[in-house]
Structure 1
Amino acid sequence: MSNNQHAASSQSSVVHAGAADLDLGAVRAFVAITEDRYFSEAAARLGISQQAISKRIASLEAATGVRLFDRARTGAELTEDGRIFLSHARALVGTADQALATLRGRRRALRIDVLDTRTAAIDQVRSFYDTRADVDIEIITSNGLRSARGALTRGSVDAAFCRVTGAPEDGLVRLSAYLEPAHLLVGRDHPLAGLRQVGMAQLSGATVWMPGNAEGSEWAEYHRFLGGAFGIRIDTAGPDFGYEHFVREVGGGARASIIGEGSRIPWHPDTVRIPLVDPTPVYPWSLLYPRAGRHPALDLLVRHVQASYRPFDPDRQWLPAADRHLFTNPENS
């Protein structure tokens, strides 16, 4: 019999055996041995005994009706039948792994980075959950865009709310999400405390205290632009000891600060929040997410964000020039 005739005969026997039920564990063991060459090493990688992997191969050879390996001192060598079966075996294992990954992806929670659970981004997530309670959600907090890029690329988060200027990195998509109005936070003894609104011109020459403006963060850059546009000094002095310390310091002295309308800071009897107007500074939240390999529920979140988005109004609102063009498009693209 010629080599071609033998190969055709062998391939026929393998395909015919496929009509029977093949043990996927045995097929996986076969592939592992072809990669490691030794039964012992393949068994260790699969977490089973050498006796167990030998039984799996014997079972597979019985099901296919052919010998798949020749044993030698240099390791297990594929027979001609084994070489023919290898591409089919790899395809079976690959398809099974993809199917499991898809099902696990559907079962696991949608992981969303909101920077902090006291920011306005949590409102976006909560309103989404209110409409889709069937979607499991896991909230992740980090240090904003600086960590979100890597987390999204690695797949440790599925989406992130953050400020993004310019085009995102390859493989990531930016979506305009929400423009959060700014409030002035002052103590009750502050000269502006009795006003219902504070015009931005009234803050010219003033100092606002923002110890949480970490160097290199996207929100620190935003407030530098804000200070430059309206003649406000941004004071970042002092460690950031958390929200409780922050509100006590503002309430107990002459300090003023700027916070987002949606920021959930602790209540303090000596602090007052006042909307900023003429124009209203708005903080540009974007939704950043991967272009490919997305969680099955991510498209639902994207559509929810698109439906609730309201574009930038230059007659009433203020944004840094770097953000303005990204939030003016009414199509939110």
Structure 2
Amino acid sequence: MDVDALRTFVAVAGTGQFQAAADELRVSQQAVSKRIAALERHLGVTLLVRTSRGSSLSLDGQVFLPHARKVLATLEQAERSVRPGARPLRVDVLNRRIAPAQAVYRFYRSRAEPNLDVVTLGDANAGQAVRAVLEGTVDASFRALPDDEIPAGISAERILDTPLELLVGPAHALADAAWVRPADLVRHRIWIPGIRQGTEWEAYYRALSEAFNLSIDALGPHFGDEALMDALADSGSLATLVGAGDRYLWPESHDLRRIPLHEPTPVYPHVLVARRESRHPLLRELRDHLRATAPRTDGDMWVPDWIAIGLP
């Protein structure tokens, strides 16, 4: 059924005049007549009866009018729901504890009730997250990915570099260090449970271990971050790596230590990916906020050579 014909019928029913309806719709009277005739042929009934004063509704027209108005109202509601800014901006932050989630949270706090929906895509890897962006499941995602994996239609900008820190318990040999070099971690066991094969973070930590000859493993079951904190507190040899902006909490009695890494500083590069044609105003605001507030790192950084430089 032709939506323009429905709108024309409702306009004529409201004004009682073909010419008045034409003026309201900004079309010719001839176009109004053609639309009404086509609608009546489609329905197989007469909807409007011409009179000396204009037109009036037939019995069928009187029955049809409330349904036509309801259809048009539903269509208008559907259009409003997807207009830029009308629905929440849906952002995948990968993990609610890590730096991108904290950055988006600060953005949320800086605005007056922004229309924002923060999600995690579970164990989806970078390729799956990019597909979710292309398909409209989410509007944007933070990922680490190579330039050659950025498909057409996607905007990608390396927007948040997170320096890595060593996290250890009080009995660890490096617990009292002000900072350490990646080379100082050779022969120390670094345990990062939950690393899944085929993900970008698995590729990142593999590249990091190869670059500095580190022992990084994900052996054993992952019982959650709280269990990891317990294990670190009880061990004199176990360590893990966390982002400087990641939010991990542990009991005060654990006395865990965050130790910065320098010479060089390994950073995890979060790339903001979104559809190029996206017109959601909050996406622009989020991108501007991240550019303005992202922590600055010095030039002595290490990232894998495959990481996307970013194509804004």
TM over 0.5: yes
Instruction: Look up the equivalent residue of 1:135 and give its one-letter code.
Output: P
Please point out which of 222, 236, 239 is paired with 2:218: 236
2:117 counterpart of 1:138: yes
**Structure 1 unpaired stretches of 5+:** 1-12, 40-53, 66-91
| Cα distance in 1 for residues equivalent to 2:134 and 2:49 | 44
- Output the CA distance in 1 between the equivalents of 2:178 and 2:86: 48
Aligned partner of 2:92 among 84, 91, 113: 113
TM-score by length of structure 1 reads 0.68
User: Does 1:317 find its partner at 2:301?
Assistant: yes
2:22 is aligned, of 19, 22, 26, to 19
1:297 maps to 2:282? yes
Deviations 1:169-199 (A, max 9, x none): 1211101111111111112111111112112
Answer yes or no: is 1:166 the counterpart of 2:150: no
Are the counterparts in 2 of residues 113 and 139 from structure 1 also a CA contact under 8 Å?
Answer: yes
- Look up the SS of the partner of 1:257 in the other structure: strand
| Distance change in 2, residues 1:58/1:100 (3 Å) | farther
Higher relative contact order, structure no. (Cα contacts within 8 Å, ≥ 6 residues apart): 2
Establish whether residue 288 from structure 1 lines up as the match of residue 256 from structure 2: no
Q: Assess, with a 3 A threshold, how the Cα gap between structure 1 residues 311 and 265 changes in structure 2: closer, same or farther.
A: closer
Q: Shift of residue 20 of structure 1?
A: 7.5
What secondary structure is seen at the aligned counterpart in 2 of 1:116? coil
Does the alignment pair 1:262 with 2:265? no
2:162 pairs with one of 180, 186, 189: 180
Tell me if 1:149 matches 2:130.
yes
Cα distance in structure 1, aligned partners of 2:239 and 2:292: 35
- Contact 1:197–1:275 under 8 Å retained in 2: yes
Stretches of structure 2 lacking an aligned partner (at least 5 in a row): 1-11, 26-34, 56-71
SS in 2 for 1:277: coil
Tell me, in whole angstroms, the C-alpha distance in 1 between the residues paired with 2:213 and 2:275: 38
| Number of residue equivalences | 262
- What is the distance in 2 between the residues matched to 1:192 and 1:198? 8
Contact 1:158 1:294 in 2 (8 A): no
Q: Distance in 2 between matches of 1:151 and 1:133?
A: 28
The answer to whether structure 1 residue 252 and structure 2 residue 228 are counterparts is no
How far did residue 307 of structure 1 move?
Answer: 2.6
**Residue aligned with 1:190, SS:** coil
Query: Shift of the alpha carbon at 1:98?
Result: 7.6
One-letter identity of the residue aligned with 2:247: R
Deviations 1:29-65 (A, max 9, x none): x88x96xxxx7xxxxxxxxxxxxxx8xx754x55997
> Partner of 1:118: helix, strand, or coil?
coil
Structure 1 residues 166, 15: CA separation in 2 closer, same or farther (over 3 Å shift)?
A: farther
Of all paired residues, the percent bearing the same amino acid is: 32
TM-score (norm 2): 0.72
Deviation sequence 1:193-242 (CA, Å, 0-9, x none) = 11121122211233211112111111111111110111101111112221
Q: For residues 156 and 58 of structure 1, do their structure 2 counterparts lie closer, same or farther at Cα, with a shift above 3 Å needed?
A: farther
Deviation at 1:279, TM superposition (A): 1.0
Residue 201 of structure 2 is matched in structure 1 by 219
2:187 to 198, 205, 227: 205
How many angstroms apart in 1 are the aligned matches of 2:18 and 2:284? 40
Letter of the structure 2 residue corresponding to residue 124 of structure 1:
A
**Aligned counterparts, 1:72-151, within 5 A:** 99-103=79-83, 105-142=84-121, 143-144=123-124, 145-151=126-132
CA RMSD of aligned residues (A): 3.5
